Amino acid sequence: RPGKEPEVDLPYYHPRAPSAEVEMTAYVLLAALKTEPAPSQEELSFSSLIAKWISSQQNPNGGFSSTQDTVVALQALSQYGAVTYAKSGAASKVTLRSGGEFQQDFQVDATNRLLLQRVPLPQVPGEYSTEVSGEGCVYLQTSLRYNVQPMQEDAPFTLHVSTIPETCADSKAHKVFDIGINVSYTGERNGSNMVIVDVKMLSGFIPLKSSVRKLERHPIIERTELSTNHVLVYLEK
């Protein structure tokens, strides 16, 4: 389907198709495999291209973009595997090499054809090559996991919270104390729109209604709301 490419500029990032495209393509594969009495060789060749594309959209955990497309895609791949299954004892050997001394061999035969085999790559980034010999079908996937620090943005508000008194040295403060909240708009405009300040009480404390009602005398405070352990303060700007 026509659409915009995802606006992601990350190293090694391979954009995946939207969930709807994976699901629709999986339905096409299921339909192609339903030919009675059995799919022809030409239809199986066509189906193999679809299965290859669906496999390329699979994430490192075995799923896809959503629950819906994962269920349909796995059903289609399973159906494709059932149709193309052969009981022959053909075996394949996959050799993974790097430019250095690293080499890893994977043997795939009838005894372990459904077993996941994996190895960590010793150096990333690096150049690796694979060589496959023998007969049969092998699904090879590489996955790279890394963290990207989020961009730091200037917050439009500053918030400072303190207790009065600041310490619980006074025995009275063990039962009753004030919460001081200083909120300032620091954005690019002259003022903000309506702001809601949500104050959650410390464990074991509840807001004193009379002290909260006094807040409404302030000219920019539109109203307040109370619950068991929350105080909501609505500021006009």
- Digit-coded pLDDT (tens) for 168-177: 888 888 888 8
Tell me the average pLDDT across 120-124.
90
Computed from CA positions of residues 210, 215, 217, 223, in that sequence, does the dihedral angle turn out positive or negative?
Answer: negative
When the pLDDT of each residue in the chain is averaged and rounded to a whole number, the result is 87
Look at the block and give the residue holding tokens 């092998």. 138
Q: Are 183 and 195 in contact (CB under 8 A)?
A: yes
pLDDT at residue 23 in the model = 96
Fill in the amino acid letter for 147: N
> Residue ranges per domain, the chain?
1-85, 88-149, 157-235
CATH of domain 157-235: 2.60.40.690
Tell me, which fold does domain 88-149 have in CATH? ubp-family deubiquitinating enzyme fold (2.20.210)
- The residues that bridge with 234 in the sheet, in sequence order, are 196, 223
In this structure, of 54-58, 76-80, 128-132, 135-139, the range with the lowest mean pLDDT score is 135-139
pLDDT at residue 8 in the model = 58
Give CA–CA dist 203/190, Å, rounded: 37
**Confidence (pTM):** 0.56
- The residues that bridge with 132 in the sheet, in sequence order, are 94
Fill in the amino acid letter for 237: K
Residue 9 reports pLDDT greater than 70: no
Residue 38 reports pLDDT greater than 90: no
Give CA–CA dist 188/73, Å, rounded: 48
